[in-house]
Structure 1
Amino acid sequence: MAKTQFPMMPKAGGGVLGKLVGIVVVLAVLTLVLKQPAEAAAIAKGIAAGLGGAVEGAATFLKGVLG
């Protein structure tokens, strides 16, 4: 029997455009870190704080729904 693929899931590998966008993003982040390390650190701390807040909010929501 053949494997069943989910119609909504993207195929592995991606196209040239996706790879190009990924390379551009990696180069932009690398340039930011090398040229402005203090600003890059501040951005990383902000992202981490935002993710931490989102996790705490989700946990609070689940406690309210399930508890």
Structure 2
Amino acid sequence: MAKTQFPMMPKAGGGVLAKLVGVVLVLAVLTMVVKQPAEAAVLVKGIAAGFGAAAEGAAAFLQGVLG
């Protein structure tokens, strides 16, 4: 019996360009952490705070809709 794929799921692997972009991003992050660790920490804290604020907003919205 043949495997059926889900129609909306992306295929595994990705192209050469996607892999190249990933490698470049990883190298950029590593360079930033090595050369400017304090600024990298501030950036990560800011990103985490943004995700936290988004989660709180979504929870407040759902409480307002459902409650």
Question: TM-score of the superposition, structure 1-length normalised?
Answer: 0.91
Deviation at 1:9, TM superposition (A): 2.1
Match of 2:52 in 1: 52
Does 2:17 align with 1:17? Answer: yes
| RMSD between aligned residues | 1.0
Deviation at 1:17, TM superposition (A): 1.0
Count residues with an aligned counterpart: 67
Deviation at 1:44, TM superposition (A): 0.3
Task: Give unmatched runs, 5+ long, in structure 2.
Answer: none
Distance in 1 (alpha carbons) for counterparts of 2:25 and 2:11: 21
Identity of aligned residues (%): 81
Question: TM-score of the superposition, structure 2-length normalised?
Answer: 0.91
Secondary structure of 2:6's aligned partner: coil
Match of 1:33 in 2: 33
